[in-house]
Structure 1
Amino acid sequence: MSEDLTGRFVVALDLDGVTDKAGLMDRAARALSLPDWFGRNWDALADSLADVTVWPEQAGGRGLLVVVRGWEGYARQRPQEWETAREVFAQAVRVMPSLTVALALGGSS
């Protein structure tokens, strides 16, 4: 976690090795420091991304940039789940202007 050039707090969501929705939810919960009550489903992820009160404390007032990397393998293995994940990211960005989700190309290292 760090700061990007726009001042937003940056979180890396590394999906390298993720093979299913449960793995994606676990990685998201860890990367975003989501609370224990996080439901680990698509609606809960959407709600968490669009709610600054559950964002990492350092993002408060600055905005959040989530960089999703290592996603290509998951997208190939679970294309329908990946499409849903992309829709969740897109919807959260539409309702939360201080959120940016970027898909990194080129792996997780």
Structure 2
Amino acid sequence: MSKPAPDLSDLLTDIPRAGVRPLPPDSSARIAAAAAQVDQACLRVSLNGCQDKTELLQRFATAFAFPDWFGHNWDALADCLGDLEWMPTHGYVLLLEHAADFRATHPEEFDTLLGVLRDTSRQWAADGLPFWVFVDLGPNAH
């Protein structure tokens, strides 16, 4: 007999498993509710219609309420995501929504973004907090 699947709120508190994962279809609301249940910050960044790296970074700055010193480059994104002292919580959940078009039109920038997010998740895990990223690549993602 197989082991039952872990409850979503249990999964979100499992620090070693935290990282960048595909967003299952129609699961945003369930993930957000589970994050609230375990007192984790749940943030949404939509890449719908995002034209370039500059706009992508601005969307992160807005969603995470980055400080004025945010430099709008990859290093500054990593620095801000790795700090978040202005947003104390028991963990972080990022829903990266509508990412398929940006991935298709800006593959290098998208790969760089995922690298920053993976590194951020590992950094937070080393500090004892989960940092989850669920990436919405649409129904035909592979």
TM class by shorter-chain length?
0.7 to 0.9
Segments of 5+ residues of structure 2 without an aligned counterpart are: 1-31
Segments of 5+ residues of structure 1 without an aligned counterpart are: none
Relative contact order (alpha carbons < 8 A, sep ≥ 6): 1 or 2 greater? 2
Q: Identical aligned pairs, as a percentage?
A: 30
* TM-score, normalisation: structure 1: 0.84
1:27-85 deviation digits (Å, cap 9, x = unpaired): 0000111111101100111111111314xx3xx13211111011111110010111100
Name the CA distance, whole Å, in 2 between partners of 1:100 and 1:23.
22
**What does 1:38-57 align with in structure 2 at a 5 Å threshold?**
38-54=70-86, 57=87
- What residue number does 1:82 align with? 110
Give RMSD over aligned pairs: 1.7
In terms of Rg, which structure is larger?
2
Question: How many residues are treated as equivalent by the alignment?
Answer: 102
Secondary structure of 2:133's match? strand
Native 8 Å contact 2:41 2:89 kept in 1: no
Q: Equivalent of 2:122, from 85, 91, 94?
A: 94
* TM-score, normalisation: structure 2: 0.66
- What residue number does 1:24 align with? 56
- What residue number does 2:23 align with? none
